[in-house]
Amino acid sequence: MYLTDEEEDMLAGEEGHATQKAMQILVALGKIYDAERLVKVSSVQVSGVSYKNLGDAGLEFLSELARDGKARVKTTLNPAGMSLTDWRAQGIDSGFAEKQLAVIDAYDRLGAEITCTCTPYLAGNEPAYGEHIAWGESSAVAYANSVIGARTNREGGPSALAASLTGRTPLYGLHLIENRKPTLVVDIQTLLRFPEDFSAMGYFVGRLVKDGIPYFRGITSAGLEEMKSLSAALASSGGVAMFHVEGLTPESRVDVAGTESLSFTSRDLGEAGSILNDEGSPDFVAVGCPHCSLKEVATIAELLEDQKVKHELWVCCSREVKRQSDKAGYSGIIEKSGAKFALDTCMVVAPIEELGYRVVATNSAKACHYLRNAGLKVRFMPLEECVVEATKGS
């Protein structure tokens, strides 16, 4: 793989141990994927942040890099395993908290912005169309490629960090225009009315398309909430890192003649909803997977006005969206009801299975997928129903 003089110097260790290690990771990756060269990236989003996923080995790796490593481009973080400030109120064990704070401290020394959100595009890390980036969180990757038109592969923790420390990533996969073409046309033959419909549909299609690129026809409108729900669902049941929606996403003007196709009907939508539901009455309600937008927070506040929650209700969002919510007056209404903002974290990366909950109600297919893997039962329902469920009690 071709390296510039500056990149050769990094590889030779002339810019420090961490940069050398990062360059070794990128060169090894580039060789595996036959990349001709590296490409500069404008931002990085790192997904390995929760101590629940990283463990001691991950913490040790980060601490070693933090001795002399520094981010060269804007670097933001995925959710951690707890709120960085209110972890006690979340019931988090102090042993876990100590390790999680050590992880955050290492990222801080590395020069990352301590954002801890899976919607960096709502919290100050929004790339432009055509920009090369190196992002890790799967839903954000799918959103960035598909909705924004930026270019990123689905980076693992070490490769995203390596991109941060060098400002580069190997030029392969979705960085190349020829790899961004649809592999499967999906004709949507039913009305998708709510973000949850997009979530269920994405979960259903993700299982069929696996790591391909679906091209959706028949969707006439989809806003930010629908697109982020679709991104997360496709990336959780499959390995989708990019999709197109005819007439709506920026690279959807492509020729799909001859591409394999299938239909998605109202029956499929019903089936998708039912495979995401277990038996049981919810004892925990969590919304905001991916992290809530301000519009979703506004809806929650409207539903909770003069209400009290009887079950634990987590509203997962970024600190930036919470700041906007404070300003708009939504936060006071939500907190007065007894619901909690879960900042810096989410229902999946926090160890909620250890907090004694058994059945989680959520409006996200992705959350259902991972919570089930963690041994919890799930109920999939629209945002409005989730909030009402939390106020009902058993």
Residues at the contact surface with ligand F3S, assessed by CB under 6 A: 78-79, 118, 139, 232, 289-291, 316, 346, 348-349, 366-367, 370
Separation CA 393–CA 372 (nearest Å): 22
If the CB atoms of residues 112 and 349 are measured against ligand F3S, the closer one turns out to be: 349
Q: How many helices (H) and strands (E) does the chain have?
A: 14, 14
If the CB atoms of residues 139 and 145 are measured against ligand F3S, the closer one turns out to be: 139
| DSSP run (H or E) holding 138 | helix 138-143
What's the closest the beta carbon of residue 41 comes to ligand F3S, in angstroms?
21
147 Rama class: left (phi>0) / alpha (psi -120 to 50) / beta? alpha
If the CB atoms of residues 22 and 349 are measured against ligand F3S, the closer one turns out to be: 349
If the CB atoms of residues 315 and 346 are measured against ligand F3S, the closer one turns out to be: 346
212 Rama class: left (phi>0) / alpha (psi -120 to 50) / beta? beta
What's the closest the beta carbon of residue 191 comes to ligand F3S, in angstroms?
25
If the CB atoms of residues 18 and 234 are measured against ligand F3S, the closer one turns out to be: 234
What's the closest the beta carbon of residue 280 comes to ligand F3S, in angstroms?
21
Which tokens sit at 70? 């520094």
* Long-range CB contact pairs, 327-330, < 8 A, 24+: 328/294, 328/298, 329/301, 330/294, 330/297, 330/298, 330/300, 330/301
Which stretches of 213-293 are DSSP H helices? 224-237, 266-275
CB 101 within 8 Å of CB 84: yes
What's the closest the beta carbon of residue 34 comes to ligand F3S, in angstroms?
31
What's the closest the beta carbon of residue 142 comes to ligand F3S, in angstroms?
10
What's the closest the beta carbon of residue 96 comes to ligand F3S, in angstroms?
17
What are the residues whose beta carbons fall under 8 Å from the beta carbon of 223, sequence distance 6 or more? Answer: none
If the CB atoms of residues 3 and 224 are measured against ligand F3S, the closer one turns out to be: 224
3-state DSSP assignment of residue 377: strand
